[in-house]
Amino acid sequence: MSFFITLVESSDASRRSIETLPRVQSMMHKGLTLAEYRAFLRDLYHIVWHFCPIMAAAAARCDESLKNIRYELYERIAEEKGHEGWVLEDLGSVGGDVPGAHGATPSAPVQAMIGFNYYAAERVHPCSVLGMLYVLEVVASVYGGKAADSIARAIGREASAGGFRFLSSHATMDADHMAKLNVLLKTIGDPAAQAAIIESTRVNFHQFGQLFSEGGFVSHLAR
């Protein structure tokens, strides 16, 4: 059995647990209010902003035995560069405070998610970053398009009219990225690397789920 299948099977319960969260259920079926969507984009901006630097930190620790991982990360960085600007573009399209988003502190779950991924890339194993990639690409490809449509309906606009570029585009882009990640993960046979990826996947699913807790993006509404 390939490591990709092992990763899918070992993390499926964590993925499905996110689906059962009340705020996720509500978002997927009833959307978000305009204020909630703006708050969600504020947190999403920080996740996306740190995406490339975390991959760069991992790539810097990939030795010659991991050069295929390093080259894949270089390619992914080139593809993802600047996408935090798409989040800000969406925020501006729905009347959010774009200048304020730059200096705003993300919610506690997002701070923890970002901090864990730097720590894992720099102190645990560079392949830990593949767990982050897997989680964010699963979330985007499986849920991104549906969430965009649901939120757009809730705030009375078409997803194609602006404000949903990041969610809508990554629903398609990350389906392609997932296919490439599938191929890459099948090449990883080192038990330490596999264990680091599995643990990173578990933590990232957990922290992403916490984004939908009371301490997550809705906490911005009280500020």
58-87 pLDDT, tens digit per residue, is 999 999 999 999 999 999 999 999 999 999
Burial of 39 (0-12, 13-18, 19+ CB in 10 A): buried
Q: What is the CA radius of gyration of the chain?
A: 17
Rounded CA gap, 197 and 141, in Å?
A: 19
Rounded CA gap, 57 and 74, in Å?
A: 11
Render pLDDT for 139-174 as a digit per residue (tens, 0 to 9): 988 889 999 999 999 999 988 889 999 998 876 665
Measuring CA to CA, which residue among 39, 15, 36, 35 is closest to residue 26? 36
Q: Which two tokens stand for residue 128?
A: 């830990």
Instruction: Report the predicted TM-score, pTM, of the whole model to 2 decimal places.
Output: 0.94
Render pLDDT for 179-202 as a digit per residue (tens, 0 to 9): 888 889 989 999 999 999 999 999
What mean pLDDT, rounded, does the chain reach? 93
Measuring CA to CA, which residue among 4, 15, 3, 14 is closest to residue 179? 4
With residue 111 as reference, give the H or E element that holds it: helix 108-119
Question: Residue 11: CB partners within 8 Å, gap ≥ 6?
Answer: 134, 135, 198, 201, 202, 205
Q: Count CA atoms closer than 13 A to 114's CA, side-chain side.
A: 19
For each of the domains in the chain, give its residue range(s) and CATH number, in order of start: 3-222 (1.20.910.10)
